[in-house]
Amino acid sequence: MNSIFSDRISDVPRSFIREILKVAVDESIISFAGGLPNRDLFPVRELQAAANKVLEESGKDALQYSSTEGDPALRKWIAERYRAKQGLDIDPNSILITTGSQQGLDLLGKTIVNEGDGVIVEEPGYLGAIQAFSLYKPVFHPVPVGEDGLDLNGLHSVLAKHAPKLFYCVPNFQNPAGISYSKENREAVAQALKGRKTVLVEDDPYGELRFLGQQKPSFRQFMPDTSVLLGSFSKIIAPSLRIGWIVANDAVMDKLVIAKQAADLHTNYLGQRIVLQYLKDNDLDKHIALIRKAYGSQREAMVAGIREHFPVETRYTLPEGGMFLWITLPEGLSALTVFERAIRQKVAFVPGDPFYVNRKNVNTLRLNFSSVDEETIRTGIGRLGEVLKDMIRKG
Amino acid sequence: MNSIFSDRISDVPRSFIREILKVAVDESIISFAGGLPNRDLFPVRELQAAANKVLEESGKDALQYSSTEGDPALRKWIAERYRAKQGLDIDPNSILITTGSQQGLDLLGKTIVNEGDGVIVEEPGYLGAIQAFSLYKPVFHPVPVGEDGLDLNGLHSVLAKHAPKLFYCVPNFQNPAGISYSKENREAVAQALKGRKTVLVEDDPYGELRFLGQQKPSFRQFMPDTSVLLGSFSKIIAPSLRIGWIVANDAVMDKLVIAKQAADLHTNYLGQRIVLQYLKDNDLDKHIALIRKAYGSQREAMVAGIREHFPVETRYTLPEGGMFLWITLPEGLSALTVFERAIRQKVAFVPGDPFYVNRKNVNTLRLNFSSVDEETIRTGIGRLGEVLKDMIRKG
């Protein structure tokens, strides 16, 4: 039966995290593996009120087919927020509502990447992007990221040899490593790409979730003509609505709209209307402040636990926002091996492997701190610390 | 800037209907151009009650990320309905919830079609499918459809020369022509495909909307191993929720799930839960009976209008369900030319051209009867009849 399938799908591995989450369904396991926002912070009552209002006042409209680009008022709201929060001048017509920002990745791959085209990804990088782009059979050029952002030597070295079509990055509180690009690093990256046709894709699902430090400028400040920007309501309102967006200039937008229409006609419109009503009737900043406070405390609990329980040989990032923290184990200790032992001790995480395009049995792993309460974080990090100490001592 | 785009997107035309609908926004124009269900029949209050119940009783669950395959209880409901209504034995695990059945087309193209692979489409055929598959650069093999279904000679002639990967069809109340495949025609098509690797894609968004005649068996009855079946709540509940599904066997499902995850992680889950709650608390059959009755009357009004006002040289189909009716003008009269004149007389439709993969200036056109009330249908058909009589008399 295999011959019926396309070449492109044969190259894409089943999601590693998906398989891991299946292992971790046992309720006695403390899981730092998922990438879920904290469900206790969802504005349930407010969204219920918004849903009622929309269906009460304009139910027939909200239930009918709608435009591929998305609700005009919602796109206007997003443009105004970019202006207010980041000083970005974005035309609402440059915004396409997508079925989560994940769909933005698929649409960009579809409209830009030919087989064999170069795509720069961060190392480690977001596996959902690697998976989405993989379907279009690119050649990946991984460039390492560190505490201050992208490794510039690595970038220059790729650009010296290749002319990549896309450069995909998560410059704020990166998934998986939790790092952010400094302002200087962003400027240097933009400078390196200047005059090239490489489209920079800035994926920014976590940018609003900063609990420490100062906001950094979007790449759109430095390279408005050759960057696209992805955003999402998943981490600041609720993910199940699957409402994200792409900011892109006219030429790219024109192609994205064609691809979007072929992909699903339009993003669920009732959800768009509920989100818009919620935004009109509530103070989003106040809500985000609650999330920041909670995630800041959860991150503190995790860092404190790591300092107390992990062996001194392990290194960890100190994210200023977002949902993830990244652990580097001593050289030679595979996180996959640790994972097997950890599961037996009832604690789960994501081994680093799926975040790399061409490395196996890496000594890094991702911890999520947003979906687990502080006490459980302490218990889970304690368990993981015991496993690590045991393995490093014996290793 | 053009060189940044992929080859696949360059080949896809902007939707013709999209452009036409822009022309037809003038409120004084009576439009038979859209493909919209009748908004007056949406179960607004019932969906509002369902949304309230879901958010009241399990808001946190309903707002969190969910599984790529879709809500298990919704998939079970769909499987049970297939059993009850069509005697089909379908495992809920063989059902993938998609972002409208349009997404099913994209996922099938993505997972099955390599550049240059053959895809059989109906002539005329659903343009959304043509658009979705186009992105994967197939070679289309159009096979004509008539009042009883697919032209078997045309099918045999394609199969004698080619080994198509996919055969896409809408056997119930086809979009655009409104025709249905007879039982005998389905059996003959299945027989012709027997022993071949061609996957038959049965797209069935309208099957429940039968107002005349007897239900016909799904292709899944005749070829369960080599067919996939697409369904949707868009025409029987509401389209804005974007909830459809694919029924496929294990090997295909495995690939579809990978592609679905890369495309948008999962279909909006709040919408899935609202639909499920609606289905639990309401009698869908009773609701569908209302739609059938209304569309049946609207179709009657349109046929009566055509008989009264259209010149005798025009032919028309007599759909037993669905939303569309197909007009064939005298040879040599381009529907595009009629369209320009009709717009000036304040009536719109879709000229046949976009429903063909390789014909231009065709003498056919599509009329939608579901979204326009009976009185407006009479007025609009009257206007169109005047235009046609004028053009045919002068032609």
Which pLDDT value is given to residue A1? 39
What's the whole-number mean pLDDT along residues A111-131? 97
pLDDT (tens digit, 9 = 90+) per residue, B3-20? 688 888 876 766 666 666
The tokens for B204 are 């069935």
Q: Is 50 exceeded by the pLDDT of residue B249?
A: yes
Pick from A51, A65, A98: CB nearest B55: A51
Question: In this complex, how many residue pairs, one in chain A and one in chain B, have their CB atoms less than 8 Å apart?
Answer: 249
Which pLDDT value is given to residue B21? 65
A14 touches chain B (CB under 8 A): yes
Which pLDDT value is given to residue A23? 67
State the Rg of chain B over Cα. 21
pLDDT (tens digit, 9 = 90+) per residue, B299-318? 999 999 999 999 999 999 99
CA B95 to chain centre: 19
Which pLDDT value is given to residue A21? 65
A86, A186, A222, B174 from A193: Cα distances, Å: 22, 11, 10, 50
| Residues of chain A found within 8 Å of residue B262, distances taken between Cβ atoms | 12, 102, 105-106, 128, 131-132, 134-135
CA B251 to chain centre: 25
CATH class of B2-42+286-394: alpha beta
Which pLDDT value is given to residue A26? 78
Percentage of chain B beyond pLDDT 90 is 92
Which pLDDT value is given to residue B25? 67
- Give this complex's ipTM: 0.96
Q: B295 near B211, Cβ under 8 Å?
A: yes
Which pLDDT value is given to residue A281? 98
Which pLDDT value is given to residue A2? 47
Residue with tokens 């636990």: A305
What's the whole-number mean pLDDT along residues B278-296? 98
Distance from CA of A218 to the nearest CA of B (A): 22
Look at strands A139-146 and A149-150 and give their pairing: antiparallel
Q: How far apart are CA B321 and CA B298, in angstroms?
A: 11
Q: How far apart are CA A217 and CA A85, in angstroms?
A: 10
A135 touches chain B (CB under 8 A): yes
Q: Is 60 exceeded by the pLDDT of residue B354?
A: yes
Name the pLDDT band for B24 (thresholds 50, 70, 90).
Answer: low
Residues of A numbered 268-297 whose beta carbons fall under 8 angstroms of chain B's beta carbons: which are they? Answer: 268-271, 274
Q: Is 90 exceeded by the pLDDT of residue B170?
A: yes
What's the whole-number mean pLDDT along residues B22-43? 88
Are the beta carbons of A55 and B47 separated by less than 8 Å?
Answer: yes
pLDDT (tens digit, 9 = 90+) per residue, A29-43? 999 998 999 999 999
B333, B347, B364 from B336: Cα distances, Å: 9, 13, 9
Q: Is 70 exceeded by the pLDDT of residue A24?
A: no
pLDDT (tens digit, 9 = 90+) per residue, A161-182? 999 999 999 999 999 999 999 9
Pick from A9, A165, A240: CB nearest B258: A9
Which strand (E) or helix (H) includes residue B166?
Answer: strand B166-169
**φ, ψ (nearest 5 deg) of residue B32:** -100, 20
Are the beta carbons of A6 and B112 separated by less than 8 Å?
Answer: yes
> For chain B, what are the domain ranges?
2-42+286-394, 44-281
A8 touches chain B (CB under 8 A): yes
For testing contact with chain A, the best of B21, B39, B55 (most A CBs within 10 A): B55
pLDDT (tens digit, 9 = 90+) per residue, B121-142? 999 999 999 999 999 999 999 9
What's the whole-number mean pLDDT along residues A293-322? 98
The tokens for B158 are 């394609």
What's the whole-number mean pLDDT along residues B338-358? 94
Q: Is 60 exceeded by the pLDDT of residue B395?
A: no
Q: Give the side-chain half-sphere CA count within 13 A for A85.
A: 16
B25, B301, B335, B382 from B388: Cα distances, Å: 22, 18, 10, 10
What's the whole-number mean pLDDT along residues A65-72? 96
3-state secondary structure at position A366: strand
Domains A2-42+286-394 and A45-281 share a fold: no
pLDDT (tens digit, 9 = 90+) per residue, A330-361? 999 999 999 999 999 999 999 999 999 989 99
Q: Which CATH number fits domain A45-281: 3.40.640.10, 3.90.550.10, 3.90.226.30, 3.40.50.40?
A: 3.40.640.10
Which pLDDT value is given to residue B23? 67
Distance from CA of B307 to the nearest CA of A (A): 31
Quote the longest CA-to-CA distance of chain A.
66
> What CATH code would you report for B44-281?
3.40.640.10
Q: How far apart are CA A65 and CA A70, in angstroms?
A: 11
Percentage of chain A beyond pLDDT 70 is 95
What's the whole-number mean pLDDT along residues B198-219? 98
State the Rg of chain A over Cα. 21
Which pLDDT value is given to residue A13? 62
Pick from A61, A63, A265: CB nearest B100: A265
Which pLDDT value is given to residue B1? 39
What's the whole-number mean pLDDT along residues A111-117? 96
Q: How far apart are CA A32 and CA A316, in angstroms?
A: 15
pLDDT (tens digit, 9 = 90+) per residue, B367-392? 999 999 999 999 999 999 999 999 99
Residues of B numbered 297-356 whose beta carbons fall under 8 angstroms of chain A's beta carbons: which are they? Answer: none
Are the beta carbons of B51 and A51 separated by less than 8 Å?
Answer: yes
What angle do helix axes B72-86 and B269-281 make, rounded to 10 degrees? 50
3-state secondary structure at position B231: strand
A47 touches chain B (CB under 8 A): yes
